[in-house]
């Protein structure tokens, strides 16, 4: 579903704001002489529209640079209708020469708006431009112009879709552990910071459960890396099956994992951790012996940032290892 009123922060869509800045610069440099020429030749309407479009682009560029915000609403609800009316005026006053401006305008939609909004914007422009093209041009030229406009819009949409898919794949690869398929440490800071804000804003109990596979180095040294990798894959596969979709799963070190449990007070987190501990011990991961794990649990407290929250869970994990492994520590009293 499209969110009709939205602003993208720079971190949310770097491609859009960078491409929009460049388009704004190009249009201001290339469009300003035409606006001045319209004014000199007494084409007041075209001059006003040209200068208005330049002003909107400049305003959005300034907002992006100075305020670190990119306003897609200004583009969709302000710039796109203004450009469409401007193009229709060009069609009636300049004919084929005015029609030439329709092509870059449609392409620009896909470089200035989120993908679905770009579909809406380009569809809106085509819906208004094509009937006017048929009013102005003869049938043969109208057919060719309409088809080429639709083809340009379609090809641009396909290109942006391919780029978006590739970008998403690269993004997933960047934050995914290759061996286990779990999240890796690259996304940890950003995601845990958002989780803490969400917990404090909505008073939602969220728990961090860190655990390590016991004696993992011994497993790797004695049985080989392939066997050790199999253990990691087995534990990761079990976590994906056992945990809810809302929970976040990370591999944060060689044998260390993090499970972020939503809507989980410490008592519930203890119960989940105990179920994980018992289940891991029962998994058939090594021939002739069981694999065990040690756990540390921490909830979010008022002054926590993500580092303090995670550090408290890891301190409790360390206590569990020092106390003999294959157990859970979830309170500061136990740490002391």
Tens-digit pLDDT profile for residues 119-135: 999 999 999 999 999 99
Write out the residue range of the structural domain in which residue 17 sits: 7-175
How many angstroms separate the CA atoms of 55 and 241, rounded?
A: 54
How many angstroms separate the CA atoms of 196 and 306, rounded?
A: 7
Gyration radius (Cα) of the chain, Å: 29
Residues 247 and 151 in one domain: no
Looking at 145, 175, 205, the residue that finishes a domain is 175
For residues 283 and 234, the answer to whether their CB atoms sit within 8 Å is yes
pLDDT greater than 60 at residue 7: no
Question: Full-prediction pTM beyond 0.85?
Answer: no
| Residue 331's pLDDT band (cuts 50, 70, 90) | confident
How many angstroms separate the CA atoms of 177 and 182, rounded?
A: 5
Looking at 125, 157, 175, the residue that finishes a domain is 175
Instruction: State the total domains in the chain.
Output: 2
Residues 86 and 215 in one domain: no
- Residue 1 inside a domain? The answer is no
Share of the chain above pLDDT 90, in %: 54
Which pLDDT does position 63 carry in this prediction? 72
| 316 closest CA partner among 299, 332, 302 | 332
Burial (CB count <10 Å: 0-12, 13-18, 19+), residue 207: buried
pLDDT greater than 50 at residue 150: yes
Residues 235 and 325 in one domain: yes
- Residue 320 inside a domain? The answer is yes
Task: Kindly report the CATH number assigned to the domain that includes residue 189.
Answer: 3.30.70.270
Looking at 136, 154, 175, the residue that finishes a domain is 175
Residues 170 and 227 in one domain: no
Residues 36 and 162 in one domain: yes
Q: How many CB atoms lie within 10 A of CB 51?
A: 16
Residues 140 and 259 in one domain: no
Q: What tokens does 304 get?
A: 């926590």
Lowest mean pLDDT among 61-70, 174-183, 203-212, 285-294: 61-70
Higher pLDDT, 43 or 252: 252
Pairing of strands 293-299, 328-329: parallel
Q: What tokens does 253 get?
A: 């070190």
Mean pLDDT of 303-309: 90
For residues 250 and 188, the answer to whether their CB atoms sit within 8 Å is yes
What is the four-CA torsion angle of 184, 187, 193, 196, rounded to 10 degrees? -40
pLDDT greater than 90 at residue 298: yes
* Residues in contact with 259: Cβ distance below 8 Å, sequence separation at least 6, in sequence order: 208, 209, 210, 211, 239, 243, 247, 248, 249, 250, 272, 276
């Amino acid at each position: 579903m499209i969110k009709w009123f939205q602003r993208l922060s720079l971190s949310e869509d770097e491609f859009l704001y960078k491409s929009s800045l460049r388009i704004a610069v190009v249009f201001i440099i290339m469009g300003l002489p035409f606006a001045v020429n319209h004014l000199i030749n007494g084409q007041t309407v075209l001059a006003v529209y040209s200068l208005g479009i330049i002003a909107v682009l400049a305003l959005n560029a300034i907002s992006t640079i100075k305020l670190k915000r990119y306003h897609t609403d200004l583009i969709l609800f302000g710039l796109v209708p203004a450009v469409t009316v401007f193009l229709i005026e060009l069609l009636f006053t300049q004919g084929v020469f005015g029609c030439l401006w329709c092509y870059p305008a449609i392409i620009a939609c896909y470089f200035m708006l989120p993908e679905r909004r770009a579909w809406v914007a380009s569809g809106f422009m085509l819906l208004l431009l094509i009937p006017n093209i048929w009013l102005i041009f003869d049938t043969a030229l109208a057919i060719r112009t309409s088809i080429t406009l639709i083809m340009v819009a379609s090809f641009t949409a396909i290109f942006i879709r391919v780029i978006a898919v590739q970008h998403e794949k690269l993004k997933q690869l960047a934050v995914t552990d290759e061996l286990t398929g779990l999240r890796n440490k690259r996304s940890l800071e950003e995601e845990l910071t958002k989780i803490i804000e969400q917990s404090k804003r909505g008073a939602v109990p969220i728990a961090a459960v860190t655990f390590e596979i016991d004696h993992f180095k011994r497993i790797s040294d004695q049985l080989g890396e392939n066997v050790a990798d199999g253990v990691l894959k087995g534990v990761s596969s079990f976590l994906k099956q056992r945990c809810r979709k809302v929970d976040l799963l990370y591999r944060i070190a060689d044998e260390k994992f993090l499970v972020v449990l939503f809507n989980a007070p410490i008592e519930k987190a203890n119960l989940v951790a105990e179920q994980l501990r018992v289940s891991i011990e029962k998994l058939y991961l090594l021939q002739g012996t069981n694999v065990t794990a040690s756990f540390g649990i921490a909830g979010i407290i008022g002054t926590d940032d993500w580092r303090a929250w995670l550090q408290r869970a890891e301190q409790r994990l360390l206590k569990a290892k020092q106390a003999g492994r294959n157990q859970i520590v979830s309170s500061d009293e136990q740490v002391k």
